[in-house]
Amino acid sequence: MAARRGTHVVSCYHCAHRFEVGGKTQSTNCPECNQRLIVEDVVIKQLTPVKQVNTCGRLVVHAKGSLLAERVHASEGVEVLGSLQADVTSAGPVHIGPKARWKGDCSAPRLSIDAGARIESGAFSVPRDDEDPLLLDTRA
């Protein structure tokens, strides 16, 4: 599905329905399941303990950020430069930077880990690129 100018297509992390949102939309309700969706990127800049993070965008953990969560779902990818402790499902690429600390499971269509990154524990699953990332959907 190609997005119209100024819009982009997101996929609902509750029901996997795909729909267009405006470029500046921060959150919306899924037209299919009517549940609330965070559309914008989630940026972590400090110690952030939360139960879970869900976004149709990306999760970015800055070098001084530290995310402590049970579960993370990011539709467009995850970038960790600081520290992250969570079980992560991403439908986009996951990048773990050179000074990052990672603890938790990771499922993503692409994964890159820089030399120097510290992986403390976790089960990593990276299916082939040609598989539909939506198959990774882990609706609870």
Kindly list the residues in this chain that would bind Zn ion in the complex (CB under 5 A): 12, 14-15, 17, 30, 32-33
Six-digit token string for 31 = 């037209």
Nearer to Zn ion, 85 or 89 (CB): 89
Residue indicated by tokens 């690429």: 93
List phi, psi (to 5°) of 136: -80, 0
Q: Check if the beta carbon of residue 38 is closer than 8 Å to that of residue 46.
A: no
Nearer to Zn ion, 12 or 44 (CB): 12
Closest distance to Zn ion from the beta carbon of 26 (Å): 17
Nearer to Zn ion, 76 or 105 (CB): 76
Residue indicated by tokens 């729909």: 19
- Give the Cα separation of 81 and 136 in Å (integer): 24
DSSP 4: P
Closest distance to Zn ion from the beta carbon of 57 (Å): 16
Closest distance to Zn ion from the beta carbon of 1 (Å): 15
Nearer to Zn ion, 33 or 47 (CB): 33
Nearer to Zn ion, 30 or 60 (CB): 30
- Give the Cα separation of 70 and 55 in Å (integer): 15
- Give the Cα separation of 32 and 13 in Å (integer): 11
Closest distance to Zn ion from the beta carbon of 134 (Å): 12
Closest distance to Zn ion from the beta carbon of 12 (Å): 3
